[in-house]
Amino acid sequence: MSRSALVGNVTAMLEDAGFIVSDRCAIRPKSFDIAARRGEDVLLVKILGNIDAFDARTGAEMRRLGRYLNATPVVIGLRTRDQDLDPGVVYFRNGVPVLSPDTAMDLFVEGVPPLIYAAPGGLYVNIDSEVLQDAREQKDWSLGRLAKELGVSRRTVSKYEDGMDASVEVAAELEDLFDAPLTSPVSVLEDGGDSVRKADDPPDGPDVDPDDEAIVTVLTRVGYEVHPTERAPFKTVSEDEGQQEQVLTGHSEFTKTAEKRARIMSSVGEVTRTHSVYVVERAPRESVDGTALIEQAEMEDIEDRSELRNLIADRTGIEELA
């Protein structure tokens, strides 16, 4: 299957699941392919045939963008090396959860979350420690008796009851012993897999492009915290102090490529509920879809955030910004 066809299939699947899906980010370099929203769940999705192509810089950028935009970064892919991804299993690459299309279908369309995740050493599951302890005590088994049944140490059983995850084989044996489900799902949407992934916080983002310093100075002056990007269709994501409002910003001469970026920013902004601004030397019109075009000279004259908000509203025809 071509990557273009795979992107189309994933987009259709998410739409069938009730997501609003952005246009494809068909500009390189790009950290994600599409953004999608269903209710309060927002996804930034990278779609790959082979997930080994997902490098550390892209993973770090997606995780940073997820934090800035209150979104879950996720990769949907077909295989690793020459092996297909197993259905029902969450993999991780560079701190980002990875799902096969079948796993994504189960999670997003059927509402059935995965129970298994891959980590160094094999496949693992979350053991519901309280359920395990209750089941053991109801059977009037000591820690030692359960340890003997499993062929492990008493300390290992104690760790399971303290929340340590177990291999798929041990989990299956536990459920056979107690004739009850003891596993809990991998939380992909709620925490992006943080509860099971073992990854540090992403490294800090890139430095401000020297060409963008004047724009960043204005955004900072009017009260935004500005986060430069390096692989997104926009140059920066800016947040207000309460992280209630985000602005996507682009900056370049107004060319065909700039117009394309502005359209993608508008589409991503609609999904992520952010405003978008493209700063140019000379603006041929007031906006591109929902992205306001602002000339650099007038941008540098802005003194407060309300002035910027009013300018975006005027340019895009929005009566009042949310």
> Where along the chain do the CATH 1.10.260.40 domains lie?
124-184
- Token pair 């770090």 is found at 60
pLDDT for the residue 1: 76
Strand 225-228 versus strand 183-184 pairing type: unpaired
CATH class of 210-316: alpha beta
In tens, the pLDDT along 87-108 reads 999 999 999 999 999 999 999 9
Q: What percent of the chain has pLDDT over 70?
A: 96
- pLDDT score of 322 more than 60: no
Backbone angles phi and psi of 191, in degrees to 5: -135, 15
CATH class of 124-184: mainly alpha
Give the alpha-carbon dihedral of 113, 196, 174, 107, to 10 degrees.
10
pLDDT for the residue 97: 96
Please check whether residue 179 is in contact with residue 138, taking contact to mean a CB–CB distance below 8 angstroms. Answer: no
pLDDT for the residue 190: 76
Average pLDDT over residues 228-236: 95
- Token pair 């029902």 is found at 88
pLDDT for the residue 40: 93
Q: Considering the chain, what is the average pLDDT of its residues? A: 93
- pLDDT score of 269 more than 90: yes
Average pLDDT over residues 283-301: 95
> Where along the chain do the CATH 3.40.91.30 domains lie?
210-316
Global pTM reads: 0.92
Q: 3-114, what's its fold?
A: Trna Endonuclease; Chain: A, domain 1 (3.40.1350)
pLDDT for the residue 121: 86
pLDDT for the residue 203: 86
Encoded tokens for 300: 């540098």
pLDDT for the residue 140: 95
Backbone angles phi and psi of 33, in degrees to 5: -95, -40
- pLDDT score of 242 more than 90: no
Average pLDDT over residues 212-231: 95
pLDDT for the residue 320: 55
In tens, the pLDDT along 166-216 reads 999 999 999 999 998 999 999 898 766 676 666 678 888 999 999 999 999
pLDDT band at 82 (very low <50, low <70, confident <90, very high): confident
> Where along the chain do the CATH 3.40.1350.10 domains lie?
3-114
